[in-house]
């Protein structure tokens, strides 16, 4: 039987709870088993699409059988030939320089951590009480660093320098769906997932996790709601 549905999911806040330390994020054994069971369905392919580096996703999702799209979709593996965005090497060089500048700029903000990715730079402030109270100062500092061809995107107590290229989670999900000739189910909780909901449009089944305004067509209440939805899809 050919694959009829591509079930794409975000990681943080969708498959695993958010943590003060992003490196501490883990999937529970039960959720890993659920993903593996879903992936064994003959007409379903599972894709985890995240802003995380591809190496982190390989470790976090090992044994689940899920295809992976890290760096907000700039890399795709597990569905057809491994794919990298053609501008990835250029953006990677720029990201390293931008990360070094960001580390120097945030030294006065206690608890702020800079994470270098291949094609992006994440500035985490979940452990920075001063910034949580008033994030405007940190935002001004980061905005002043923005080079041409880059943008500053917000998330849940994170700002991220990302290439301004018109490519992201929605585009890589659409690429994977074309390769499979499959319909899309996409489940996510964050700002970048809202961008993907818009890109995928009404041709996809889009599901928002948690409260807040959304472009998604459906909503579940939290990670337990995600589990229940995946369980129904796996039957």
Report, as residue numbers or ranges, the catalytic residues. 10
Report angle CA 138, 139, 143 to the nearest 5 degrees.
Answer: 120
**Separation between Cα atoms, residue 115 and residue 41, nearest integer Å:** 36
CA dihedral sign, ordered 17, 157, 99, 70: positive
CB atoms within 10 A of CB 43: 10
Q: How far is CA 225 from CA 19, 97, 220, in A?
A: 19, 40, 5
């Amino acid at each position: 039987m050919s694959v009829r549905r591509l079930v794409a999911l975000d990681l943080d806040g969708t498959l695993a709870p958010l943590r003060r330390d992003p490196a501490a994020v883990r999937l529970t054994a039960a959720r890993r088993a659920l993903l593996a069971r879903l992936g064994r369905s003959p007409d379903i392919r599972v894709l985890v699409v995240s802003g995380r580096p591809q190496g982190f996703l390989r470790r976090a999702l090992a044994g689940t059988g899920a295809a992976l799209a890290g760096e907000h979709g700039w890399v795709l593996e597990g569905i057809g030939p491994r794919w990298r965005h053609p501008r990835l090497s250029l953006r990677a060089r720029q990201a390293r320089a931008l990360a070094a500048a960001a580390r120097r700029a945030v030294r006065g903000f206690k608890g702020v951590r800079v994470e270098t990715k291949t094609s992006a730079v994440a500035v985490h402030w979940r452990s920075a009480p001063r910034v949580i109270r008033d994030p405007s100062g940190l935002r001004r500092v980061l905005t002043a660093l923005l080079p041409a061809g880059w943008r500053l995107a917000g998330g849940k107590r994170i700002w991220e320098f990302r290439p301004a290229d018109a490519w992201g989670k929605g585009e890589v999900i659409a690429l994977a769906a074309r390769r499979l000739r499959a319909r899309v189910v996409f489940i996510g909780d964050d700002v970048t997932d809202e961008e993907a909901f818009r890109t995928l449009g009404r041709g996809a089944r889009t599901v928002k996790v948690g409260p807040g305004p959304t472009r998604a067509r459906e909503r579940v209440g939290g990670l337990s709601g995600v589990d229940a939805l995946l369980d129904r899809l796996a039957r």
